[in-house]
Amino acid sequence: MGLRKKITNYHYLDFIPMELDGLALIELAHYKMPFGKYKNQYLLDIPEHYYIWYRQKGFPEGKLGRMMTQMYDIKVNGLEELIYNIRRDFKK
């Protein structure tokens, strides 16, 4: 079964915001913070309060900002476990 087919059938995707597709979720699950206090940590492992603070001040531009915005939505909706499972099941 091809990767896209496998991702499409992955039952966790039913609970993720619609703007995220399967391949983007895998990338998000494995993406690490490139700078600052949480440098080299998975975005998923960064505390929710950090995303709330960034939400108030404004997320960075570009890819990192988009990924942080998506992670903010995942965290405030309590969906972290789903991303942990994706990271476990779909190695980078």
pLDDT in tens, 51-87: 999 999 999 999 999 999 999 999 999 999 999 999 9
The packing angle between helices 62-76 and 48-57, to 10°, is 120
| Cβ-based neighbour number of residue 18 at 10 Å | 6
How far is 65 from 58, CA to CA, in rounded Å?
Answer: 9
Mean of pLDDT over the chain: 84
At 18 the pLDDT is 47
Beta partners for residue 42, in sequence order: 32
Number of domains in the chain: 1
Q: Residue 2 — very low, low, confident or very high, per pLDDT cuts 50/70/90?
A: very low
| Structural domain containing residue 39 | 3-89
If one compares 90 and 91, the residue with the highest pLDDT of the two is: 90
Residue 68's pLDDT is what? 97
